[in-house]
Structure 1
Amino acid sequence: MRFAVLCCLGLLSNFTVCAQETWRGLVVESENRCSPYDKSSQYPYPQSVEDRVVAAMGGKVYGPYTGRYFDSDTQTDIEHIVAASEGHDSGLCAASAQTKQQFATDLLNLTLAAPEINRCGTQGKCGLDAHEWLPPKNQCWFANRVVQVKTKYKLSVDAAEARVLETVLANCDSTELVYYTRGNSQESAISEPILITALDKYDDNRNGRISCAEARAHGIAPVRREHAAYDFMRDGNNDGVVCE
């Protein structure tokens, strides 16, 4: 098992073939959209699930990613720790409608986040995986939850994501959720949550845009609206898909 983990994470430079491409029991393979994705119809959840998240946190309206407390859950978004698009591309694309809905409403995979942390266009998480985004706080809890969710739903993990998760988890004394002190002046700070942006990953000529040639070279075409690269591309007919 130790060999398989090191091999899949690219840490055994003298070996080019892995006997078993797994990491912490998860299959290591590239993301694959085996069927069309539509979050609203395939991964629906009622707004009332937010109350269940708050109850699970002892009644606290709390954003673990930044250690921030809120006066009301009207100030927060429902946040999927493993994003629906990430789950879809990691195996749920072939799952039943019932399994997809279970994933969308599973408290194991739900937390709260401020809109600027959760949404696209604000350097938020926006469907990114752990290779592309980590929270500034509660990284050990977050990484462990990603593994738990992917294990429960038999989802895959790509090699880059596995490397980041392993780096985080290898340095954790605990994976319990940390509640930072209320009123701490640091609690609402957003300190570089993006490790690797879409431009870092896909803008090869560093011109501030991502072309279809670059998208195809990185194997992400066609690029849909929910993908992190989409905001840096031109969608001429505004249909939510580029490089078809």
Structure 2
Amino acid sequence: MIKNSLISWVLLTVSYYSIAEETWRGLVVEQENRCSPYNKKAQYPYPQSVEDEIVASMGGVVYGPYTGSYFESDTDTDIEHIVAASEGHDSGLCAASDEMRVQFATDLLNLTLAAPVVNRCNVGGKCGYDAGEWMPEKNQCWFSNRVLQIKTKYRLSVDRNEAEVLERTLSACSSFEMIFYPHSELGNSDQEDDKQRSPLEMYDDNNNGRISCSEAKKHKITPVLSQHPAYQFMRDSDGDGIVCEN
């Protein structure tokens, strides 16, 4: 009897820790799964007028938080889903009702603005990637927290890499508010040229071939994750994929 009780206790303990290892901050950790066909326009529609609501939610400025860029008009930006429709679909909404999918597509919690070059499938563009595959240049803390909020609200899953990247980012954050960076004196065309410059040209102020934390902080790109182009020129002493956490 004691032996059987001990075995049962061990099995229950193993089962508990197995379940615990499969969740992160209340979200199920599992691989993405397209359990039903995906059609963004048909399943995740939203009116163009929602763009006005996004602008209003940011105090009336046309602002792209991913790059800290301001625009003359929302005709220069795309409506951007922070958790992409395809990512949401493959993380649980493939089994959701039509009403739930529309709610997800029109929820201001999940909406922001981004320049087309950032939002679409260009080199370095977001292109439906999850947070483990793509992080914005700026406002990483706000972005990561929004992903967590959205996935929690709609009971979506995360894959293991996404959970690890989000945890590293969130644990290094002191605030999750959207940062409105100072207006750049560059015009839009100059901003596009800026995206083509190498990280050393942009952030290596003393031209020594490396980017220090002080330089990264000066340019407001900290914490720097492994996905950021500056990371390859920085020293990650503990090898955790993130530098300049503090």
Q: How does 1:121-140 map to 2 (within 5 A)?
A: 121-140=122-141
Structure 1 regions of 5+ residues with no counterpart?
1-16, 197-244
Aligned to 2:227: 195
Q: How far apart, in 2, do the equivalents of 1:95 and 1:81 lie?
A: 19
Larger radius of gyration: 2
Shift of 1:62: 0.0
Give the 5 Å matches for 1:1-244. Answer: 18-20=18-20, 21-183=22-184, 188=191, 189-190=194-195, 195=227
Which sits farther off after the overlay, 19-28 or 83-92?
19-28
Deviations 1:183-232 (A, max 9, x none): 25599454879929xxxxxxxxxxxxxxxxxxxxxxxxxxxxxxxxxxxx
Q: How far apart are residue 19 of structure 1 and its match?
A: 3.5
In structure 2, what is the Cα distance between the partners aligned to 1:121 and 1:141? 23
Q: Tell me, in whole angstroms, the C-alpha distance in 2 between the residues paired with 1:96 and 1:183.
A: 43
Kindly tell me: are residues 41 and 163 of structure 1, through their superposed partners in 2, closer, same or farther at Cα, counting changes over 3 Å? same
Provide Cα deviations, 1:28-64, integer angstroms capped at 9, x if missing partner.
0100000000000000001100000000000010000
Identity of aligned residues (%): 67
The CA RMSD over aligned residues, in Å, is: 2.3
Rounded to whole Å, the distance in 1 between the matches of 2:90 and 2:37 is 10
Q: CA deviation at 1:175?
A: 0.5
2:6 corresponds to which residue?
none
Shift of 1:121: 3.2
Deviation at 1:138, TM superposition (A): 0.1
Q: TM-score, normalised by structure 1?
A: 0.70
- Offset from partner CA, 1:101-144 (integer Å, 9 cap, x none): 00000000000000000001343100001111000000000000
Cα distance in structure 2, aligned partners of 1:194 and 1:71: 32
Rounded Cα–Cα distance in structure 1 between residues aligned with 2:103 and 2:227: 30
3-state SS, counterpart of residue 18 of structure 1: helix
SS at 2:18's partner residue?
coil
Which structure shows the higher helix fraction?
2
Distance of 1:53 and 1:19 partners within structure 2? 38
Whether the 8 Å CA contact 1:133–1:194 is kept in 2: the answer is: no
CA contact (8 A) 1:123 1:194 kept: no
Structure 1 pair 140/109, CA: closer, same or farther in 2 (3 Å)? same
1:84 aligned partner, one-letter code: A
Tell me, in whole angstroms, the C-alpha distance in 1 between the residues paired with 2:104 and 2:25: 20
In 1: Cα distance, 2:38 partner to 2:135 partner: 24
1:164–1:152 CA distance, 2 compared to 1 (3 A):
same
Pair 36,22 (structure 1): closer, same or farther in 2 beyond 3 Å = same
Say if 1:164 and 1:181 are closer, same or farther in 2 by CA, change over 3 A: same
Offset from partner CA, 1:64-120 (integer Å, 9 cap, x none): 000000000000000000000000000000000000000000000000000000001
Distance change in 2, residues 1:136/1:186 (3 Å): farther
Structure 2 regions of 5+ residues with no counterpart? 1-16, 200-224, 229-246
